[in-house]
Structure 1
């Protein structure tokens, strides 16, 4: 029973350690209103464009969601 508790404690600590490092790397870049960005296009063809833009960030809606406006030019 003591062995079971020891293993359970070590497994929990390791799980928290791995979650810490994964969460630390999981967040992408942060953009502010006025920043210029390019959007990745989910193109299925080999020769299709992978990026479209530039776009201007208008508003940050959520931690990873933005409202953007395509720039002229």
Structure 2
């Protein structure tokens, strides 16, 4: 792996120097793993929050639908 990184660093642009240094130091994997874990946690948290909001909205919409459907039945029955 070290040879692969060394060969890549010889032919990489100057802007990739920071990335090559991180790969050589071994911190790249750990940093990337932590960032991926944090991203997953944030996504799961957001999914739970959205699910709760949608669930509450669905319950409210269901109550309104039942209330209005009852009114329609009463209105049709009186005409």
Q: TM-score, normalised by structure 1?
A: 0.41
Q: Which one has a bigger Cα radius of gyration? A: 2
Structure with the largest fraction of helix: 2
